[in-house]
Amino acid sequence: MAVKRFLLLVSLALLTLLVLSGCSARPGAGETAAAAAEAPLALDLPALTIDIDANGAPSIAGAPLSSFASLAPGLADFSLGSDLVSQLMQANIQHIQISTLPDGLRILVNGAALPSLRWDEERLANLSELVDMLGPAVPSVVKAVLPLISDVGVGVTLRFPLAQGADVIPLQAEPATVATAAREAVLAQLGKAPVIRIPVVYDIEGNYTVQGITDAEWQALTGAPFGQLKLDAELVKNAVAAGVRTATVRTDAEGIHIALNDKELPVLGWGEGELLNLVKLAAGAGVLQGAGLDADALVGLLEALLPVIEASDVSIHVTFPAAQ
């Protein structure tokens, strides 16, 4: 028994050294340690760097990820597949970074930030209440991690092979300031941010009305397919049974806000140019061409429209029927 424990400790020590040797700078490193200075538990680590080869096989510091399967079951079968890696190379996607921070989750592709989650203490508490309300539908590990997430700064970087002739892209680009300046210019031009509020009331069968007008009547009035906004009756019944009375989706310069029963959940943030980064990434990956669109023209159009979209205050407030 003592020999087995010794071998396990040696294995863990070697794994730790190997993993640390395969680490890289993590976006936002140091912020968690500073914010959790008084917390009894705090982790602020470099990003674990996983290299993916052309066949989709992952490795850490040159060691195949499958070699750690005895310590982390399931790793032996992990692979992205050669077709997916080929698509990423054709789109010149060289690395993807995911990092947790005290105030959210940061996602970067080729060093450019994409829309990602932002939270504070109140929003995390509301999310914990929602998890408790959903009960067995949420894995127990999620319930255990949520109270600690602000005190844990960890991340992973996936690196992919370079396409032939491609220039190396740095892991982290300079912070975007153009988006903020563009929004301020739009607001100065408009005077006030555009405001749109839409109250939607659903019945137990998933039918809805807006100011007393039914989905069929809205469709007849506008010609738009508003009938597709009808919800599945089972979905409405499940929401009512779970105690969901209202749901609000709202956008502003910070991002997309979601509230259930008037309690704000983590925000999908876009306040630093993340939306434009996402559009450019989609254009570079050929997604827009696949939809039969002129990518350059569409990117230019969206670049002009995004500051207006981001600055607008748009909200859809949904009311579900009371529980029977």
**Domains in the chain: boundaries:** 2-159, 178-319
Query: How far apart (Å, rounded) are the C-alpha atoms in residues 101 and 78?
Result: 26
Count the Cβ atoms, other than its own, within 10 Å of residue 296. Answer: 10
Distances (CA, A) of 53 to 61, 114, 291: 13, 24, 29
Cα 310 off chain centre by: 17
**CB 158 within 8 Å of CB 53:** no
Radius of gyration from C-alpha coordinates of the chain: 24
**Sequence-distant (≥ 6) Cβ neighbours of residue 41 within 8 angstroms:** 148, 151
> Angle 274-284/295-311 helices, nearest 10 degrees?
160
pLDDT of residue 248: 96
Residue 57 tokens read as: 């096989």
- Asked whether 153 and 32 are in contact (CB, 8 A), the reply is yes
CA distance 181 to 19: 41
Query: Exposed, middle or buried by CB within 10 Å (0-12, 13-18, 19+), for 47?
Result: buried
Q: How many CB atoms lie within 10 A of CB 215?
A: 19
Do residues 33 and 114 touch, judged by C-beta distance below 8 A? no
Phi, psi for 142 (deg, rounded to 5): -65, -45
For helices 178-190 and 295-311, the axis angle rounded to 10 degrees is: 60
Report yes or no: 102 and 35 within 8 Å, Cβ to Cβ. Answer: yes
Q: What is the chain's pLDDT, residue by residue, as a tens digit (324 residues)?
A: 444 444 444 444 444 444 555 567 788 888 888 888 888 878 888 888 989 999 998 888 787 877 766 655 566 677 888 999 999 998 899 999 999 999 999 999 998 899 999 999 999 999 988 888 776 666 777 777 788 888 888 888 999 999 888 899 888 655 555 566 766 776 677 777 788 999 999 999 999 999 899 888 888 888 777 778 889 999 999 889 888 999 999 998 889 999 999 999 999 998 888 888 888 888 777 766 655 666 677 777 777 778 888 888 899 999 999 876
Rounded alpha-carbon distances, angstroms, from residue 133 to 11, 141, 156, 323: 41, 16, 31, 15
**Rounded Cα gap, residues 212 and 112, in angstroms:** 45
